[in-house]
Structure 1
Amino acid sequence: MDACLADNGLFYCISITHPVVFVALAAAIVAVFGIAFQRKTAREKNSIDFEESYKKNTNIKNAMLEIYSLNESKVRALIKDDGSVDDNDKSVIAIRRVLNEWERAATAISHQVYDNQYLYQIYGTTVLNLFDVLHPFITARQNKNSRLYINFQLLAVDWIIKRKRDEGYNYPKQLKEAQQHIHYYCDHKNAKGSLIELRKGYDKLKEVMDSMYDKR
Protein backbone atom coordinates (compact mmCIF):
# COMPACT_ATOMS: atom_id res chain seq x y z
CA MET A 1 0.00 0.00 0.00
CA ASP A 2 2.82 2.40 0.88
CA ALA A 3 4.49 1.77 -2.46
CA CYS A 4 1.20 2.30 -4.24
CA LEU A 5 0.66 5.58 -2.40
CA ALA A 6 4.10 6.78 -3.32
CA ASP A 7 3.58 6.03 -7.00
CA ASN A 8 -0.13 6.63 -7.62
CA GLY A 9 -1.84 8.56 -4.84
CA LEU A 10 -4.49 7.76 -2.25
CA PHE A 11 -7.64 7.53 -4.37
CA TYR A 12 -6.11 5.26 -6.97
CA CYS A 13 -4.75 2.92 -4.32
CA ILE A 14 -8.08 2.73 -2.50
CA SER A 15 -9.85 1.99 -5.78
CA ILE A 16 -7.46 -0.90 -6.39
CA THR A 17 -7.34 -2.33 -2.89
CA HIS A 18 -10.92 -1.54 -1.77
CA PRO A 19 -13.09 -1.19 -4.89
CA VAL A 20 -16.27 -1.76 -2.86
CA VAL A 21 -15.72 1.59 -1.15
CA PHE A 22 -15.91 3.45 -4.45
CA VAL A 23 -18.93 1.47 -5.60
CA ALA A 24 -20.75 2.31 -2.36
CA LEU A 25 -19.74 5.96 -2.61
CA ALA A 26 -20.95 6.20 -6.20
CA ALA A 27 -24.25 4.56 -5.25
CA ALA A 28 -24.70 7.00 -2.37
CA ILE A 29 -24.05 10.00 -4.61
CA VAL A 30 -26.53 8.74 -7.20
CA ALA A 31 -29.12 8.15 -4.47
CA VAL A 32 -28.68 11.65 -3.02
CA PHE A 33 -29.05 13.32 -6.40
CA GLY A 34 -31.98 11.06 -7.24
CA ILE A 35 -33.83 11.98 -4.06
CA ALA A 36 -33.13 15.68 -4.59
CA PHE A 37 -34.44 15.47 -8.15
CA GLN A 38 -37.57 13.61 -7.04
CA ARG A 39 -38.28 16.21 -4.37
CA LYS A 40 -37.81 19.06 -6.83
CA THR A 41 -40.11 17.35 -9.32
CA ALA A 42 -42.71 16.79 -6.60
CA ARG A 43 -42.54 20.46 -5.54
CA GLU A 44 -43.02 21.59 -9.12
CA LYS A 45 -45.97 19.24 -9.62
CA ASN A 46 -47.57 20.39 -6.37
CA SER A 47 -47.07 24.00 -7.41
CA ILE A 48 -48.71 23.39 -10.78
CA ASP A 49 -51.61 21.66 -9.03
CA PHE A 50 -52.00 24.67 -6.73
CA GLU A 51 -51.91 27.03 -9.70
CA GLU A 52 -54.64 25.07 -11.50
CA SER A 53 -56.78 24.82 -8.38
CA TYR A 54 -56.37 28.52 -7.63
CA LYS A 55 -57.38 29.53 -11.15
CA LYS A 56 -60.47 27.32 -11.15
CA ASN A 57 -61.67 28.17 -7.65
CA THR A 58 -64.84 30.22 -8.16
CA ASN A 59 -64.91 31.37 -4.54
CA ILE A 60 -61.38 32.72 -4.86
CA LYS A 61 -62.21 34.43 -8.17
CA ASN A 62 -65.19 36.20 -6.63
CA ALA A 63 -63.23 37.11 -3.51
CA MET A 64 -60.43 38.58 -5.61
CA LEU A 65 -62.93 40.68 -7.56
CA GLU A 66 -64.18 42.09 -4.27
CA ILE A 67 -60.64 42.82 -3.09
CA TYR A 68 -59.84 44.55 -6.39
CA SER A 69 -62.55 47.07 -5.51
CA LEU A 70 -60.75 47.96 -2.28
CA ASN A 71 -57.80 50.16 -1.48
CA GLU A 72 -55.87 50.55 1.75
CA SER A 73 -58.15 53.32 3.02
CA LYS A 74 -61.25 51.20 2.45
CA VAL A 75 -59.62 48.27 4.22
CA ARG A 76 -58.80 50.47 7.21
CA ALA A 77 -62.44 51.58 7.29
CA LEU A 78 -63.50 47.95 7.79
CA ILE A 79 -61.65 47.83 11.12
CA LYS A 80 -63.52 49.06 14.19
CA ASP A 81 -61.91 51.10 16.95
CA ASP A 82 -61.42 47.98 19.07
CA GLY A 83 -59.70 46.18 16.19
CA SER A 84 -62.65 43.92 15.42
CA VAL A 85 -64.42 43.57 12.07
CA ASP A 86 -67.93 42.75 10.92
CA ASP A 87 -67.80 39.02 10.18
CA ASN A 88 -70.81 39.32 7.86
CA ASP A 89 -69.38 42.10 5.72
CA LYS A 90 -68.83 40.86 2.16
CA SER A 91 -65.41 42.51 1.94
CA VAL A 92 -64.29 40.91 5.21
CA ILE A 93 -65.49 37.51 4.01
CA ALA A 94 -63.58 37.95 0.74
CA ILE A 95 -60.40 39.10 2.49
CA ARG A 96 -60.45 36.16 4.88
CA ARG A 97 -61.06 33.68 2.09
CA VAL A 98 -58.08 34.88 0.07
CA LEU A 99 -55.78 35.28 3.07
CA ASN A 100 -56.62 31.78 4.29
CA GLU A 101 -55.86 30.38 0.84
CA TRP A 102 -52.51 32.12 0.73
CA GLU A 103 -51.70 31.24 4.33
CA ARG A 104 -52.02 27.57 3.38
CA ALA A 105 -49.89 28.11 0.29
CA ALA A 106 -47.25 30.02 2.23
CA THR A 107 -47.11 27.25 4.82
CA ALA A 108 -46.62 24.69 2.04
CA ILE A 109 -43.83 26.83 0.57
CA SER A 110 -42.10 27.10 3.94
CA HIS A 111 -42.17 23.29 4.24
CA GLN A 112 -40.90 22.91 0.66
CA VAL A 113 -44.10 21.26 -0.50
CA TYR A 114 -44.50 23.99 -3.13
CA ASP A 115 -41.70 25.49 -5.20
CA ASN A 116 -40.98 29.02 -3.95
CA GLN A 117 -39.39 30.32 -7.15
CA TYR A 118 -42.08 28.86 -9.40
CA LEU A 119 -44.91 30.49 -7.46
CA TYR A 120 -42.98 33.74 -7.10
CA GLN A 121 -42.68 34.00 -10.87
CA ILE A 122 -46.42 33.45 -11.32
CA TYR A 123 -47.94 35.08 -8.25
CA GLY A 124 -45.27 37.48 -7.01
CA THR A 125 -47.16 40.60 -8.07
CA THR A 126 -50.47 39.19 -6.80
CA VAL A 127 -49.06 38.47 -3.35
CA LEU A 128 -47.29 41.83 -3.08
CA ASN A 129 -50.42 43.72 -4.12
CA LEU A 130 -52.54 41.74 -1.67
CA PHE A 131 -50.15 42.48 1.16
CA ASP A 132 -49.92 46.15 0.22
CA VAL A 133 -53.70 46.60 0.36
CA LEU A 134 -54.58 44.16 3.15
CA HIS A 135 -51.79 44.74 5.67
CA PRO A 136 -54.02 46.94 7.92
CA PHE A 137 -56.49 44.05 8.16
CA ILE A 138 -53.68 41.59 8.89
CA THR A 139 -52.24 43.85 11.59
CA ALA A 140 -55.63 44.32 13.24
CA ARG A 141 -56.27 40.58 13.35
CA GLN A 142 -52.77 39.89 14.67
CA ASN A 143 -53.43 42.25 17.56
CA LYS A 144 -56.08 39.70 18.57
CA ASN A 145 -54.00 36.63 17.67
CA SER A 146 -50.34 37.21 16.85
CA ARG A 147 -50.03 33.94 14.91
CA LEU A 148 -52.70 34.73 12.32
CA TYR A 149 -51.48 34.94 8.72
CA ILE A 150 -47.86 34.78 9.85
CA ASN A 151 -46.72 32.52 7.01
CA PHE A 152 -48.39 34.69 4.38
CA GLN A 153 -46.89 37.79 5.94
CA LEU A 154 -43.41 36.30 5.97
CA LEU A 155 -43.81 35.12 2.38
CA ALA A 156 -44.81 38.64 1.36
CA VAL A 157 -41.81 40.17 3.15
CA ASP A 158 -39.47 37.64 1.54
CA TRP A 159 -40.91 38.38 -1.88
CA ILE A 160 -40.82 42.16 -1.39
CA ILE A 161 -37.10 41.93 -0.64
CA LYS A 162 -36.58 39.58 -3.57
CA ARG A 163 -38.48 41.90 -5.92
CA LYS A 164 -36.45 44.92 -4.79
CA ARG A 165 -33.22 43.00 -5.34
CA ASP A 166 -34.34 41.74 -8.75
CA GLU A 167 -35.15 45.29 -9.82
CA GLY A 168 -31.92 46.69 -8.41
CA TYR A 169 -33.58 48.85 -5.76
CA ASN A 170 -32.71 49.28 -2.12
CA TYR A 171 -35.26 48.34 0.51
CA PRO A 172 -35.75 49.83 4.01
CA LYS A 173 -33.45 48.25 6.57
CA GLN A 174 -36.48 47.84 8.84
CA LEU A 175 -37.89 45.41 6.29
CA LYS A 176 -34.83 43.17 6.57
CA GLU A 177 -34.98 43.43 10.36
CA ALA A 178 -38.66 42.47 10.30
CA GLN A 179 -37.83 39.49 8.10
CA GLN A 180 -35.13 38.31 10.51
CA HIS A 181 -37.35 38.62 13.59
CA ILE A 182 -40.30 36.81 12.00
CA HIS A 183 -38.07 34.10 10.56
CA TYR A 184 -36.62 33.58 14.03
CA TYR A 185 -40.08 33.04 15.45
CA CYS A 186 -41.04 30.60 12.69
CA ASP A 187 -37.86 28.60 13.26
CA HIS A 188 -38.06 28.68 17.09
CA LYS A 189 -41.78 28.79 17.89
CA ASN A 190 -41.42 26.97 21.19
CA ALA A 191 -38.27 28.76 22.32
CA LYS A 192 -38.35 31.21 25.18
CA GLY A 193 -38.69 34.74 23.89
CA SER A 194 -39.87 33.72 20.42
CA LEU A 195 -43.09 35.71 20.74
CA ILE A 196 -41.04 38.76 21.68
CA GLU A 197 -39.08 38.32 18.45
CA LEU A 198 -42.35 38.02 16.55
CA ARG A 199 -43.65 41.25 18.05
CA LYS A 200 -40.40 43.02 17.18
CA GLY A 201 -40.82 41.85 13.61
CA TYR A 202 -44.39 43.13 13.48
CA ASP A 203 -43.34 46.50 14.88
CA LYS A 204 -40.58 46.89 12.29
CA LEU A 205 -42.93 45.86 9.51
CA LYS A 206 -45.56 48.31 10.70
CA GLU A 207 -42.98 51.11 10.54
CA VAL A 208 -42.26 50.29 6.91
CA MET A 209 -45.87 49.89 5.81
CA ASP A 210 -47.10 52.98 7.66
CA SER A 211 -44.29 54.99 6.12
CA MET A 212 -45.26 53.80 2.65
CA TYR A 213 -48.91 54.61 3.33
CA ASP A 214 -48.11 58.12 4.61
CA LYS A 215 -46.19 58.92 1.42
CA ARG A 216 -49.20 58.20 -0.81
Structure 2
Amino acid sequence: MITKLPYKLIFVLPSILIVLLIIYANNKGPIVYAPIGVMISAIAALTAATVTIKSNRHTFMQTNSLAYRQSLQEDEQYNLSLRKVKEAIINRFETPIEKYADESKIITKDEKETLFAIRYVLNTWEQTALSCRHHLYDEYHLYQSHKTMVIELGIYFRQFIHETQLIRNNPDIFNNFTWLVLHWTIRRDDFVSTQTKKELVMVYKQLNSVKAGKLPKRHHKLKKFRYK
Protein backbone atom coordinates (compact mmCIF):
# COMPACT_ATOMS: atom_id res chain seq x y z
CA MET A 1 0.00 0.00 0.00
CA ILE A 2 1.40 3.38 -1.04
CA THR A 3 0.67 5.00 2.35
CA LYS A 4 3.17 2.58 3.95
CA LEU A 5 6.02 4.25 2.05
CA PRO A 6 8.22 6.72 3.96
CA TYR A 7 7.42 10.40 3.39
CA LYS A 8 10.75 10.82 1.62
CA LEU A 9 9.86 8.25 -1.03
CA ILE A 10 6.34 9.64 -1.41
CA PHE A 11 7.89 12.95 -2.48
CA VAL A 12 10.98 11.67 -4.30
CA LEU A 13 9.30 9.14 -6.62
CA PRO A 14 6.68 11.55 -8.03
CA SER A 15 9.37 14.25 -8.40
CA ILE A 16 11.51 11.90 -10.49
CA LEU A 17 8.50 10.97 -12.60
CA ILE A 18 7.59 14.62 -13.16
CA VAL A 19 11.15 15.45 -14.20
CA LEU A 20 11.13 12.57 -16.69
CA LEU A 21 7.80 13.77 -18.10
CA ILE A 22 9.17 17.30 -18.50
CA ILE A 23 12.24 15.97 -20.31
CA TYR A 24 9.99 13.89 -22.55
CA ALA A 25 7.79 16.92 -23.29
CA ASN A 26 10.81 19.05 -24.19
CA ASN A 27 11.97 16.40 -26.63
CA LYS A 28 8.56 15.92 -28.27
CA GLY A 29 7.56 19.57 -28.43
CA PRO A 30 4.24 21.45 -27.98
CA ILE A 31 2.14 18.55 -29.27
CA VAL A 32 2.48 16.70 -25.93
CA TYR A 33 2.39 19.72 -23.61
CA ALA A 34 -1.33 19.39 -22.85
CA PRO A 35 -1.44 15.65 -21.99
CA ILE A 36 1.86 15.89 -20.07
CA GLY A 37 0.47 18.85 -18.12
CA VAL A 38 -2.60 16.79 -17.19
CA MET A 39 -0.41 13.88 -16.09
CA ILE A 40 1.80 16.15 -13.96
CA SER A 41 -1.28 17.68 -12.32
CA ALA A 42 -2.65 14.20 -11.59
CA ILE A 43 0.66 13.08 -10.07
CA ALA A 44 0.79 16.20 -7.89
CA ALA A 45 -2.80 15.66 -6.74
CA LEU A 46 -2.17 11.98 -5.98
CA THR A 47 0.97 12.85 -4.01
CA ALA A 48 -0.88 15.45 -1.95
CA ALA A 49 -3.73 13.01 -1.28
CA THR A 50 -1.29 10.28 -0.24
CA VAL A 51 0.52 12.59 2.18
CA THR A 52 -2.80 13.68 3.69
CA ILE A 53 -4.02 10.09 4.11
CA LYS A 54 -0.70 9.00 5.61
CA SER A 55 -0.68 11.95 8.01
CA ASN A 56 -4.27 11.28 9.10
CA ARG A 57 -3.52 7.60 9.55
CA HIS A 58 -0.49 8.34 11.69
CA THR A 59 -2.54 10.73 13.83
CA PHE A 60 -5.24 8.07 14.15
CA MET A 61 -2.69 5.45 15.32
CA GLN A 62 -1.09 7.84 17.81
CA THR A 63 -4.48 8.78 19.24
CA ASN A 64 -5.37 5.11 19.62
CA SER A 65 -2.01 4.39 21.24
CA LEU A 66 -2.42 7.17 23.80
CA ALA A 67 -5.93 5.96 24.61
CA TYR A 68 -4.63 2.40 24.94
CA ARG A 69 -1.84 3.41 27.33
CA GLN A 70 -4.37 5.29 29.44
CA SER A 71 -6.75 2.31 29.52
CA LEU A 72 -3.87 0.02 30.49
CA GLN A 73 -3.00 2.25 33.43
CA GLU A 74 -6.63 2.27 34.56
CA ASP A 75 -7.14 -1.49 34.11
CA GLU A 76 -7.11 -2.72 37.72
CA GLN A 77 -7.17 -6.38 36.72
CA TYR A 78 -4.17 -5.89 34.43
CA ASN A 79 -2.16 -4.17 37.15
CA LEU A 80 -3.06 -6.83 39.72
CA SER A 81 -2.16 -9.54 37.23
CA LEU A 82 1.12 -7.84 36.38
CA ARG A 83 2.12 -7.86 40.04
CA LYS A 84 1.27 -11.56 40.22
CA VAL A 85 3.32 -12.21 37.08
CA LYS A 86 6.31 -10.42 38.59
CA GLU A 87 6.02 -12.66 41.65
CA ALA A 88 6.04 -15.71 39.37
CA ILE A 89 9.21 -14.42 37.69
CA ILE A 90 10.91 -13.86 41.06
CA ASN A 91 9.90 -17.36 42.25
CA ARG A 92 10.74 -19.10 38.94
CA PHE A 93 13.62 -21.07 40.48
CA GLU A 94 11.28 -22.59 43.08
CA THR A 95 8.34 -23.03 40.70
CA PRO A 96 9.32 -23.15 37.00
CA ILE A 97 7.08 -20.86 34.97
CA GLU A 98 6.42 -23.52 32.33
CA LYS A 99 4.66 -25.57 35.02
CA TYR A 100 1.67 -23.24 34.70
CA ALA A 101 1.22 -24.30 31.06
CA ASP A 102 -0.18 -27.66 32.19
CA GLU A 103 -3.48 -26.83 33.88
CA SER A 104 -3.77 -30.37 35.27
CA LYS A 105 -0.82 -29.61 37.56
CA ILE A 106 -2.35 -26.41 38.93
CA ILE A 107 -3.90 -27.33 42.27
CA THR A 108 -3.68 -24.58 44.89
CA LYS A 109 -5.64 -21.33 44.89
CA ASP A 110 -2.43 -19.32 44.57
CA GLU A 111 -1.35 -21.37 41.54
CA LYS A 112 -4.73 -20.82 39.88
CA GLU A 113 -4.52 -17.08 40.53
CA THR A 114 -1.01 -17.02 39.07
CA LEU A 115 -2.12 -18.89 35.95
CA PHE A 116 -5.04 -16.50 35.49
CA ALA A 117 -2.66 -13.53 35.87
CA ILE A 118 -0.18 -14.93 33.33
CA ARG A 119 -2.92 -15.53 30.78
CA TYR A 120 -4.46 -12.12 31.37
CA VAL A 121 -1.19 -10.26 30.84
CA LEU A 122 -0.10 -12.32 27.83
CA ASN A 123 -3.56 -12.09 26.23
CA THR A 124 -3.53 -8.33 26.73
CA TRP A 125 -0.26 -8.04 24.83
CA GLU A 126 -1.38 -10.61 22.24
CA GLN A 127 -4.29 -8.31 21.36
CA THR A 128 -2.00 -5.29 21.46
CA ALA A 129 0.45 -6.95 19.07
CA LEU A 130 -2.39 -7.87 16.73
CA SER A 131 -3.56 -4.24 16.71
CA CYS A 132 -0.01 -3.09 15.96
CA ARG A 133 0.25 -5.51 13.04
CA HIS A 134 -3.00 -4.15 11.62
CA HIS A 135 -1.81 -0.55 12.11
CA LEU A 136 -4.47 0.36 14.66
CA TYR A 137 -1.78 1.35 17.18
CA ASP A 138 1.49 3.19 16.65
CA GLU A 139 3.86 0.30 17.31
CA TYR A 140 6.94 2.50 17.76
CA HIS A 141 5.07 4.73 20.22
CA LEU A 142 4.28 1.69 22.38
CA TYR A 143 7.83 0.41 21.96
CA GLN A 144 9.21 3.57 23.52
CA SER A 145 7.08 3.20 26.64
CA HIS A 146 6.80 -0.58 27.12
CA LYS A 147 9.80 -2.21 25.43
CA THR A 148 11.65 -3.37 28.57
CA MET A 149 8.63 -5.02 30.17
CA VAL A 150 7.41 -6.71 26.97
CA ILE A 151 10.86 -8.07 26.08
CA GLU A 152 11.29 -9.44 29.60
CA LEU A 153 7.85 -11.08 29.43
CA GLY A 154 8.86 -12.67 26.14
CA ILE A 155 12.08 -14.01 27.63
CA TYR A 156 10.75 -15.33 30.92
CA PHE A 157 7.55 -16.79 29.45
CA ARG A 158 8.89 -18.17 26.17
CA GLN A 159 8.96 -21.72 27.57
CA PHE A 160 5.45 -21.31 29.04
CA ILE A 161 4.19 -20.23 25.60
CA HIS A 162 6.02 -23.09 23.91
CA GLU A 163 4.61 -25.70 26.31
CA THR A 164 1.10 -24.22 25.98
CA GLN A 165 1.31 -24.54 22.20
CA LEU A 166 2.36 -28.18 22.53
CA ILE A 167 -0.26 -29.12 25.12
CA ARG A 168 -3.07 -27.50 23.12
CA ASN A 169 -1.57 -28.58 19.80
CA ASN A 170 -1.98 -25.03 18.53
CA PRO A 171 1.07 -23.13 17.19
CA ASP A 172 -0.94 -19.91 16.87
CA ILE A 173 -1.26 -19.33 20.62
CA PHE A 174 0.44 -16.02 21.49
CA ASN A 175 1.84 -15.89 17.95
CA ASN A 176 1.36 -12.12 17.67
CA PHE A 177 2.93 -11.53 21.07
CA THR A 178 5.95 -13.61 19.99
CA TRP A 179 6.22 -11.48 16.85
CA LEU A 180 6.15 -8.28 18.92
CA VAL A 181 8.84 -9.53 21.30
CA LEU A 182 11.09 -10.56 18.42
CA HIS A 183 10.50 -7.28 16.61
CA TRP A 184 11.32 -5.17 19.66
CA THR A 185 14.27 -7.36 20.62
CA ILE A 186 15.89 -6.86 17.22
CA ARG A 187 15.27 -3.13 17.41
CA ARG A 188 16.70 -2.82 20.89
CA ASP A 189 19.58 -5.28 20.31
CA ASP A 190 20.37 -5.82 23.98
CA PHE A 191 21.61 -9.37 23.58
CA VAL A 192 25.20 -10.57 23.62
CA SER A 193 26.39 -9.78 20.09
CA THR A 194 28.05 -13.14 19.42
CA GLN A 195 24.91 -14.94 20.59
CA THR A 196 22.41 -12.76 18.73
CA LYS A 197 22.85 -14.03 15.17
CA LYS A 198 22.77 -17.71 16.09
CA GLU A 199 19.74 -17.36 18.33
CA LEU A 200 17.78 -15.13 15.95
CA VAL A 201 18.29 -17.67 13.17
CA MET A 202 16.74 -20.26 15.50
CA VAL A 203 13.88 -17.90 16.38
CA TYR A 204 13.11 -17.32 12.71
CA LYS A 205 13.10 -21.08 12.12
CA GLN A 206 10.63 -21.45 14.98
CA LEU A 207 8.39 -18.72 13.54
CA ASN A 208 8.57 -20.22 10.06
CA SER A 209 7.38 -23.54 11.44
CA VAL A 210 4.51 -21.72 13.14
CA LYS A 211 3.60 -20.06 9.83
CA ALA A 212 3.46 -23.48 8.24
CA GLY A 213 1.09 -24.63 10.97
CA LYS A 214 3.67 -26.88 12.60
CA LEU A 215 4.74 -26.98 16.21
CA PRO A 216 8.45 -26.49 17.04
CA LYS A 217 10.26 -29.36 18.73
CA ARG A 218 10.02 -29.45 22.50
CA HIS A 219 13.77 -29.26 23.10
CA HIS A 220 15.30 -26.38 21.21
CA LYS A 221 18.22 -24.01 21.58
CA LEU A 222 16.06 -21.12 22.81
CA LYS A 223 16.61 -22.50 26.30
CA LYS A 224 20.10 -21.02 26.11
CA PHE A 225 18.91 -17.55 25.19
CA ARG A 226 20.70 -15.02 27.39
CA TYR A 227 19.43 -11.59 28.33
CA LYS A 228 21.52 -8.80 29.72
TM-score, with structure 1 as normaliser:
0.76
Between the aligned partners of 1:177 and 1:106, the Cα distance in structure 2 is 21
Instruction: Say which of 113, 138, 159 aligns to 2:184.
Output: 159
Between the aligned partners of 1:81 and 1:60, the Cα distance in structure 2 is 19
- C-alpha change, 1:177 and 1:37, in structure 2 (3 Å) is farther
Deviations 1:1-43 (CA, angstroms, capped at 9, x unpaired): xxxxxxx832555884332222211111111111111111111
> AA paired with 1:30?
A
Between the aligned partners of 2:130 and 2:34, the Cα distance in structure 1 is 50
Between the aligned partners of 1:156 and 1:75, the Cα distance in structure 2 is 24
Between the aligned partners of 2:78 and 2:125, the Cα distance in structure 1 is 11
Instruction: Say which of 177, 182, 204 aligns to 2:207.
Output: 182
Does the 8 A contact of 1:157 with 1:179 survive in 2? Answer: no
Does the 8 A contact of 1:174 with 1:204 survive in 2? Answer: no
- C-alpha change, 1:84 and 1:115, in structure 2 (3 Å) is farther
Once the two structures are overlaid, the 10-residue window that deviates more, 109-118 or 174-183, is 174-183
Does the 8 A contact of 1:158 with 1:179 survive in 2? Answer: no
Between the aligned partners of 2:161 and 2:130, the Cα distance in structure 1 is 16
Q: How does 1:104-123 map to 2 (within 5 A)?
A: 104-123=127-146
- C-alpha change, 1:206 and 1:113, in structure 2 (3 Å) is farther
Between the aligned partners of 2:200 and 2:40, the Cα distance in structure 1 is 49
Between the aligned partners of 1:24 and 1:118, the Cα distance in structure 2 is 34
Between the aligned partners of 2:104 and 2:200, the Cα distance in structure 1 is 26
Aligned-residue Cα RMSD (Å) equals 3.2
- C-alpha change, 1:9 and 1:153, in structure 2 (3 Å) is closer
Instruction: Say which of 24, 34, 39 aligns to 1:17.
Output: 34
Matched, 1:37 2:55: yes
Structure 2 unaligned segments of length 5 or more: list them. Answer: 1-21
Once the two structures are overlaid, the 10-residue window that deviates more, 25-34 or 79-88, is 79-88
Between the aligned partners of 1:149 and 1:137, the Cα distance in structure 2 is 10
> AA paired with 1:212?
F
Instruction: Say which of 56, 60, 67 aligns to 1:49.
Output: 67
Percent of aligned pairs with the same residue? 22
Instruction: Say which of 183, 207, 213 aligns to 2:221.
Output: 207
> AA paired with 2:113?
K
Structure 1 unaligned segments of length 5 or more: list them. Answer: 1-7, 187-193
- C-alpha change, 1:23 and 1:64, in structure 2 (3 Å) is same
- C-alpha change, 1:80 and 1:164, in structure 2 (3 Å) is closer
- C-alpha change, 1:27 and 1:52, in structure 2 (3 Å) is same
Instruction: Say which of 175, 187, 196 aligns to 1:150.
Output: 175
Aligned length: 195
Does the 8 A contact of 1:106 with 1:151 survive in 2? Answer: yes
**TM-superposed deviation, 1:146:** 1.8
Does the 8 A contact of 1:127 with 1:156 survive in 2? Answer: yes
> AA paired with 1:173?
K
